[in-house]
């Protein structure tokens, strides 16, 4: 007879084999039961709710994907993947969606909000969540519009510079071609003239005021080129200045829209307050009627008791 240690437990070798196997099974069961089992996670929803949209738009407003470069590793999709990680870490976010689906949801929210169809999307959620979602969408739309305006302004400046460069290049090319034509013409004329005629032509050209009317000499050509370039750049600057005149008008329209939005919210708040007051008044009246009926019932019972006596 000998004793075999099994997990700090001595087992008698003379015991039957089935007893030893049952002991091993019990020990394994206890060991496996001692392992901590993680708690069950909260079940995820399949569709977006209002609270999910609020968490999503908060992350979008923080990461600002409209400022990301397009077509690069750190582009829009990389930003939305980061947004998905941020939303997944929030316990209020009840859907499990990757960055591509969050980008599609963001596009849907923007499109529906601009088409003023947010009421059709109010399937689940509270009024506060809807108001916060609308407020976040308004803020995001304003930021995207400002970013697009800056990009368009930069593109217009680049186009104006490109046009100025092309115009100056065409001007230099035309002046160079005119100079070549004049040089070739003078050379052909010198070949045709006799030596005496060439000498008379040289003396006539050397006299002051002998230049043809409207003809630009070689000495005047640099000044003419610089003047033309200056005029071209000045006209381009004036064109760009005229394009920016719409900015005050746009700001005035935005201010008017903000005032209308504020008035709308004030009216909605007043309606909500009046509704609450009406509900309170009906509740008080119902309470008074109930107390009156109870009083009348008690009075009737007491009156009947007196009559019986």
One pLDDT digit (tens) per residue for the chain, 309 residues: 444 444 444 444 444 444 455 545 544 554 444 444 444 455 677 788 888 888 888 888 888 887 777 655 567 888 888 888 989 888 888 888 888 888 888 888 888 887 765 554 445 555 677 778 778 888 888 888 877 778 887 787 777 777 767 666 666 666 666 665 555 555 555 544 455 655 665 666 555 544 444 455 555 556 666 666 666 666 666 666 655 566 677 777 777 877 887 788 788 888 888 888 888 998 899 999 999 999 998 988 888 876 666
Could you tell me which of 112, 84, 113, 118 has the C-alpha nearest to residue 99?
84
Answer for the pair 57, 92: CB distance below 8 angstroms, yes or no.
no
Report residue 180 as tokens. 């070549």
Answer for the pair 95, 54: CB distance below 8 angstroms, yes or no.
no
Answer for the pair 48, 95: CB distance below 8 angstroms, yes or no.
yes
Alpha carbons 183 and 172: distance in angstroms, whole number: 16
Alpha carbons 221 and 226: distance in angstroms, whole number: 9
């Amino acid at each position: 007879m000998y004793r075999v240690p099994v997990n700090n437990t001595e087992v008698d070798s003379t015991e039957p084999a089935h007893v030893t196997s049952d002991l091993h099974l019990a020990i394994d069961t206890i060991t496996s039961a001692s392992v901590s089992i993680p708690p069950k996670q909260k079940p995820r929803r399949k569709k977006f709710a209002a609270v999910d949209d609020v968490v999503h738009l908060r992350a979008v407003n923080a990461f600002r994907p409209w400022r990301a470069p397009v077509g690069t590793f750190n582009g829009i999709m990389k930003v939305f993947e980061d947004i998905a990680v941020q939303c997944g870490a929030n316990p209020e976010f009840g859907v499990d969606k990757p960055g591509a689906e969050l980008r599609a949801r963001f596009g849907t929210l923007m499109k529906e909000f601009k088409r003023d169809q947010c009421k059709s999307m109010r399937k689940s959620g509270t009024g506060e969540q809807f108001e916060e979602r609308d407020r976040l969408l308004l803020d995001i739309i304003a930021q995207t519009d400002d970013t697009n305006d800056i990009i368009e302004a930069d593109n217009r400046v680049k186009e104006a510079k490109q046009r100025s460069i092309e115009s100056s290049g065409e001007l230099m090319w035309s002046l160079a071609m005119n100079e070549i034509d004049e040089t070739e013409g003078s050379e052909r004329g010198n070949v045709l003239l006799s030596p005496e005629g060439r000498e008379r032509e040289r003396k006539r050209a050397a006299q002051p005021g002998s230049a043809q009317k409207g003809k630009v000499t070689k000495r005047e050509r640099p000044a003419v080129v610089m003047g033309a370039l200056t005029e071209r750049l000045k006209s381009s600057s004036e064109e760009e200045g005229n394009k920016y005149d719409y900015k005050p008008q746009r700001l005035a329209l935005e201010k008017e829209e903000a005032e209308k939005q504020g008035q709308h919210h004030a009216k909605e708040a007043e309606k909500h307050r009046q509704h609450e007051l009406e509900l309170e008044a009906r509740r008080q009246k119902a309470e008074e009627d109930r107390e009156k009926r109870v009083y009348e019932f008690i009075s009737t019972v007491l009156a009947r008791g007196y009559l019986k006596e």
